[in-house]
Every structure is written in structure tokens, then in C-alpha cells.
A and B are shown apart, each in its own frame.
Chain A
Amino acid sequence: MAEIVLTHLVKKYGDGFPAVNDVSLDIADGEFMILVGPSGCGKSTLLRMVVGLEDITSGDLLINGNRVNDLAPRDRNLSMVFQNYALYPHLTVFENIAFPLRLAKGKHTEAQVREKVTQAAGMLELTEHLERKPSNLSGGQRQRVAMGRAIVRDADAFLFDEPLSNLDAKLRGQMRTEISRMQRRLGVTTIYVTHDQIEAMTLGDRVAVLKKGVLQQCASPRELYDQPVNLFVAGFIGSPPMNFLPARVGDGTLSLPFGDVPVGTDLVEKVAGKDVVIVGLRPEHIKDASLGDVTGGARFNATVDVTEWLGNEQYAYIPFEPDPSVQALLEELDRDLDGEGMRTQMVVNLDARSRLREGDDAAFAFDPASMHVFDPETGACLTRDEDLAAQIAREAEEDRRNSLERAKAREAATA
């Protein structure tokens, strides 16, 4: 059980490149914290600094209020699951899981070791594999052995470095719920590195988004989604990603490539003095107007280029003319996000009922309030509502406490 506090952590590698730059995070006891970001943004480095495998260049790392910057990994009492599991190939599954217990000399009798290992193995459904060697196990089983080794001792926190990235999609889904259940049940502080959207959104109490070593925003998944602080976070969170459209600022309106949208007075004030802004629209906030789900709101007509029907939903792609004044910015953003190419098309997530097909000229509608407006110079979100964000954060914290308590109550009931 531990509270982990990172204050202004910096990591410079030998070549002077700051892989982690001034990151501060408060991780509460029992919290599930996710670190996400594109490849190379310093997630693993940050995690390895916490566990002690990487020296901290500057800043403080506190565990339960004690500064641990200079402690060796073994003295920090954290356990870690590596991306490639790092199981000991010469030991059986039982001995792999028992390894941390055996190292704590004199702390556990042989019987206690056996009991703890059996219990952990039971929890992870490894009981029938205890005498096998890791090389004979499947990927999912190896992953569980690595988790068994992490949970078997009473570590203050669990650290995971992309633990599911080597598994296929189905197994990943299973293990994801497994990890979530286990974390709630044990109530142990957890830091989890991933670059998988779904893992980040479903597992985390809070998600810290990193870009090039700099912390962009740390908030609950809901807040990240609804109230991103900047273009990068808005574009990183959500799948398919948010549409970014250039908009010319007019008199009480924003001119999008598809037409003019009237905006409220407070937004007019915020965009005053700017020529061009970037409007972010989530694909699911744009509707097929012919279905009549949106009354009022902004409407526009456009020609659908391609549609993709997925059963429960449907994507429509609508190309648009990029605005040269923000083109460079959007391209850079795309690169930062490990993008799949230039986004000069808009994605619309339609209801599966929609009968729109390729080449159709269709009417779309969206609520102007669902627009996110970004400053093209700084990338900051101009429409972020701090009060609402604070409220979402409060609710998320409440949810977290409730679910921890529920898990504890369930545990007490079964025990």
C-alpha cells in the first residue's frame, strides 16, 4: 500500500537528450495510474525511474513520503511486470513465482512460500502448470506467471510495462479484465504503461498522457475525452481520432470547410483577435441528419467518399480542402501522434441504421456545443470548461473509492 509522488522528475540519457522532462504526478494509494503516449515518449523510462532501474537526473521520487531516489530497486519494495515478462527460463513456474519470496531470506518458511505461491497460482489459474518450465507455456500463461511473480509478495505497488502487447487481441481482452479485477481486489497502487487506447481508457482511474517526455494532462479517462487540455491530448485519446478542421473566425460564426457555424458569446470572446482556429469534432458527435436525432444544431451537406460498416456502427469518410494556414500545424500534430497520414478527410461515426452509402450526397448535423476549439499557435483548448473538468474529476475519484470499497466488501464476504 503506497502513495507515490513524482515531483519534477527529469531523466537525461548520456547524450543529454531529456527522455523525461519535468514530470510531476501524485498517485494515490490504491490508484490505477496509466501512462500513455506515442512510441518513444518516455513512458518506459519514467516507469523504470520509479522502480529504480534508471537513475533520476533531477527531481524527487517519494514513496509514502520517503524520498527513494537513491535506493536500489530491491529496497523500494515495488514489483514489476516486464514487457517480455523476463521469466527465469531455468526455473519451474513454481520457482519463478517463489523467487522473490526466497530472496527475502528468513522471512518465510518453506510452508509459507508454498502457501503463497499456491494461492497466487490459484488466482491466476496456473495451478496445473506449476511444475512446468516457462519455455513450454503459451504467451498468455507466461504473462500470468510474470504477474504471479509480481503479486506473490506484498509489494507496495505494481508496475506494468506494456504487459499485454505480446498477446493476440482476444487474449488481451481477457487479461485486461483479469488485471482490472485483480487490482481492485488487492487494492494495490498500480502504474501501467501502454500505448493501447482501450487499455488506457478501461483500466485507468487516471491516465497520464506524455508527449516527448513532457506530461500533457493527467486526468480520468472521461475528462481526457470530454475536456482535453490541448490538441495533442484531444487527438491521442479516442478511436477513431477526433477530426481537426480549420475554421476561419467570422462575426459570431466559425467558418468550417463545410459551412458556417454560429457560436455563443463566450466563445466569440475567446477566439477574438484570431484569424484561424482549429475545431475538433469527435466522429460520434456528427449525425446523419436524415435520421432526425438532432434537432437544431448545425447542419451541412457533404459527399461521402467511403463508408465502412462494422455491424454495430458505421464510419463515413468525407474529404475536405485543407486550409494552408494551419496545414503545417496539423501535419506536425499528426507526426507527433504517430499518425497514419495527413488527415484531410473527416471521419463520421454513424448509427448502424443510417443508409448512407459511398458517393451519397448527404446532410449531417452536430451540436455546436460539442465542438472543441483550439488555439492554432499554442494548441491549447479554448473551450475547456474548468468547472466541468473539476466536477468530472471529483466524480471519477468518488467512483474509484466506491469500487475499491465494493471490492473490499466482496473480498470480506467471500473470505
Chain B
Amino acid sequence: MALRDDVKGTGTYSLIAIPIMIWTIIPLLWTLALSLKSTDALASADANILGNFWPRQVSWENYQLIFTGGASELFLPALRNSIVVCLSATVISVVLATFCAYAIARLQFPGKRMILTTALGVSFFPVIAMVTPLFDVWRNIGLFDTIPGLIIPYLSLTLPLSIWILAAFFQQIPWEMEQAAQVDGATTWQAFRKVIVPLAAPGVFTTGIITFFTAWNDFVFAISLTSDRARTVPAALAFFTGASQFEQPTGGIMAAAVVVTIPVVILVLIFQRRIVAGLTSGAVKG
């Protein structure tokens, strides 16, 4: 009986799931298809199959354009900036959030509630409202168009959520784990590093990935707070130009979009199970 019910349940779920999957994957496939079309194919429906969807002849010219051609001067530094900014923001955010969340979960100190509520309040703050003031401040103190000038706002975006998630994780770990480690001869720091952090690993991964994605996908800060030197890929895409003034740089933009999506896909695939474990185990008690 149970088995039959299960199978029936699966069928219903698949029926619902398939349209959702198609719905979400079409824009991605479309991007990929566009990036593989030559300039001619972009302009004429005859060169494509499936109703102008997929090119008859796969062309790599867009990728050549962004890696070695005219757009590479714009794209390659932007890619480098993106990587540097995102990795730095992730590392700093995870480290800070881990310490902060640990203190919140384990220690009694005045102002603990205030930190938590402030963190929550900050994450409600509309991003767009921060941009103009930040632009002015950054220009005055020389952070405009620098890599730290991007890392700092990303930290303020991601730290609140990271702290909340990690604090929930730490609270779940019984005190006795640490006490056992201390009796076994560990210092507070060793107990933290060898017992608590490994046990909170799903939480650490989850926050790391959330931070990375937020920074990697951000457009608002990237476009407003940078110019030539610290521009990241999402902002750089806006500055692509076609071969002539009358030609849209669609293919190049699409190719760049595919390239920047790849790390995200790889990350998700690698950490998929940890994120799921992390999101659920964080949710049980939070």
C-alpha cells in the first residue's frame, strides 16, 4: 500500500515539477543558444532550427570575441575583478559571521539582542536606497572604483543573513560537545576549530555560497560604484559594443553571461547536498 501511494505521489509531483523546470530552464537555454549563434544567424531566422531557437551551425565567434577579440579588453579584467571581489567578500563574510554567530550562540553579553535585531533590520533595508549616499561617500574617501569599495557593501548585504543562519547552527550544537573537547584537553579555540566548526560545516557552506552568489550576481552596486578599474562582469556587460554602431552586441553579451554562469553551476553541483542539508538542518531549530 505504502509503496503504491509513494509511486502515485511521485507521479503527481513530477507532473507539477516538469512545467516548473521547463519554465525556469528556458531563459538559460535561450542564453546559451544565442551565444552560439553567429552574427548572421542572429539576424536571420533561416539559419536556425526549432523556430529560430537553436542555430543550424554552432559558432564560437562570440566566445572568441570576449576572450581574444575586441571585447576581451572589457571582459577579461571584469572577470578578474569579479573573482577577486567575490572570493574576498565570501571569505571575509564567512569568517566574520562565524565568529559573530558563535558569540551570539554561546556567550551572554550586553547588546546581544541589539546585534541580532540590527542585523535583521539592515537586511530589510532597500539596496537601491544605499547606492547614492555610498557613491558620494566613496568618491570623497577614495573608495570609488576600487575593489574594497565593492567588498564593503557586499559584506553589509550578506553578513546579517549569514549571522542568523550560523547562529541557528551553533545553537543546535550541544554545549556538551565543547565541554567534552575541553575536558579532553582542548583550548577554547581548539574546541571551536576541531569540533564546532566541522559540526557547523553545512551552515558555513550555506552562508559562503549565499555570499558568493549575492556578490557575483550584483549589478546595482557594481554599476554605480565602479568605473574602469574595478568593474565586475554584470556591470561590464552593459558596456559591450557591437562591431558597428548599428549592431547590437547580443552574441557577446550572451557568451559572457554563459561564462559567468558556469562557476555558479559548478558551485551548486559541488555543494548541492551540503546546501540542502544546511538549509534543512538550519531550519529545524532557528
Contacts and interface: CB of A to CB of B under 8 A. Distances in A.
Instruction: Report whether chain A binds chain B.
Output: yes
B182 A86 contact: no
**Chain A interface residue count: which class?**
20 to 34
Nearest to A102: B194
Interface stretch (B77-85, B95-103, B173-181): B173-181
A84 B176 contact: yes
A78 B183 contact: yes
B187 A86 contact: no
Given A74-B187, A104-B185, A90 B179 contact: no
B190 interface: yes
Given A53-B183, A103-B184, A86 B190 contact: no
A215 interface: no
Given A79-B184, A84-B174, A103-B190, A73 B198 contact: no
A52 B176 CA distance: 13
Interface in A55-95: 72-74, 78-80, 82, 84, 86, 88-90
A99 interface: yes
B182 A74 contact: yes
A149 B176 contact: no
Nearest to B201: A90
Contacts of A79: 183-184
A260 B155 CA distance: 86
Nearest to B184: A100
A286 interface: no
Nearest to B108: A14
Contacts of B177: 86, 88
Interface centre among B179, B181, B185, B194 (most CB of A within 10 A): B185
A90 B198 contact: yes
A86 B181 CA distance: 9
Interface centre among A53, A79, A80, A86 (most CB of B within 10 A): A86
Contacts of A80: 180, 183
Interface residues of B, number: 18
A7 to B, nearest CB: 23
B112 to A, nearest CB: 16
A99 B198 contact: no
Nearest to B187: A74
A73 B190 contact: no
A335 to B, nearest CB: 30
Contacts of B195: 88
Contact of B176 (A74, A82, A89, A153): A82
A52 B180 CA distance: 11
A103 B199 contact: no
Contacts of A78: 183
B186 interface: yes
Interface string A96-133: 00011001100000000000000000000000000000
Given A82-B180, A84-B176, A90 B199 contact: yes
Contacts of A52: 182-183
A51 B186 contact: no
Contacts of B174: 84, 86
Interface in B142-182: 174, 176-177, 179-182
Contacts of B190: 103
B274 to A, nearest CB: 13
Contacts of A88: 177, 180-181, 195, 199
B185 A74 contact: yes
Contacts of B183: 51-53, 73-74, 78-80
Contacts of A89: 199
Contacts of A72: 182, 187
Given A86-B174, A90-B198, A103 B186 contact: yes
A88 B193 CA distance: 13
A147 B190 CA distance: 22
A100 B181 CA distance: 8
B199 A73 contact: no
Contacts of B186: 74, 103
Nearest to A75: B185
B182 A99 contact: no
Contacts of B182: 52-53, 72-74
Contacts of B184: 74, 79, 99-100, 103, 149
A53 B198 CA distance: 22
Contacts of B199: 88-90
Interface string B235-260: 00000000000000000000000000
Interface centre among B174, B183, B198 (most CB of A within 10 A): B183
Nearest to A81: B180
A53 B185 contact: no
A162 to B, nearest CB: 13
A84 B180 CA distance: 11
A86 B179 CA distance: 9
A314 to B, nearest CB: 44
23 contacts: A52-B182, A53-B179, A53-B183, A72-B187, A73-B182, A73-B183, A74-B183, A74-B184, A74-B185, A74-B186, A78-B183, A79-B183, A79-B184, A86-B174, A86-B180, A88-B181, A90-B198, A99-B181, A99-B184, A100-B185, A103-B190, A149-B180, A153-B185
A-B CB proximity, top 7 nearest:
A86-B180, A100-B184, A86-B176, A103-B185, A73-B182, A90-B198, A74-B185
Given A74-B183, A82-B180, 8 more contacts: A72-B187, A73-B182, A74-B186, A74-B187, A80-B180, A86-B176, A88-B195, A89-B199
